[in-house]
Amino acid sequence: MAAPHPLLAYFLAAADGRFPPVDGKVTVLPPLAGGLECSVAFTGHAVVATALSSKAVRAQEPDGFGASLAPDFLRHLAGPKGWIDVIDVTLAARGTGGPPRLAELADADDHPRVTHARDVRTNVEVYGDERGLITLADGVAGRRELSIELHDTQDGGAGHGRSLIAYALSLVPEDEPVFAAVSPGNARSLRAFLACGFTPLGSEVLLRPARV
């Protein structure tokens, strides 16, 4: 069995309330699996997982106070033709376990949410009901990740987002950490995750470099 990526330890520690030192520094780790890389910002400390050398990363003068997510730095990481995903808030909560409250879906392969999940994650599972669907998958550094999409967002979703997230947490064993990455501009989704007990840990962006 392959050893977990060292970035996973940072996420699990943060989910337990233990964060890197607030020293303004940047930790450089090896790249993620599947040709992906990332830059993660915690309070006062950044972690960059990349195939570039530590020297090459530090030459761009990133820091732990936000510069690790600056557009010019991310473009340098990705290369001139690399893919850069959006910057997301990193959130974590704990599974509630118990009887599963959502059924697995077998006919959602073409859904954009599922397509994206399978592009950047592994072991993707899809569940849902009349409110919407959720994906559970192994994501950044192997952490367990949850994403959600409602079928109807009229009238603010009528609380369906919060109830669907609560149901999704029953699919995760009790007290096991589960993570979510939410665009900070998607305030409605962010509020729903916060209301369901998710706690902000930092911010992150995924990249698929093309440096040639």
- Residue-averaged pLDDT of the chain: 95
pLDDT band at 155 (very low <50, low <70, confident <90, very high): low
- pLDDT score at 20: 98
- Find all residues with CB under 8 Å of 107, minimum gap 6, and list them: none
Question: What does each C-alpha distance from 64 to 46, 200, 203 come to in angstroms?
Answer: 5, 17, 11
Q: Please write the tens of the pLDDT for every residue from 79-112.
A: 999 999 999 999 999 999 999 999 999 888 899 9
**Which value, in Å, is the radius of gyration of the alpha carbons in the chain?**
17
**Taking the model in full, what pTM does it have?**
0.94
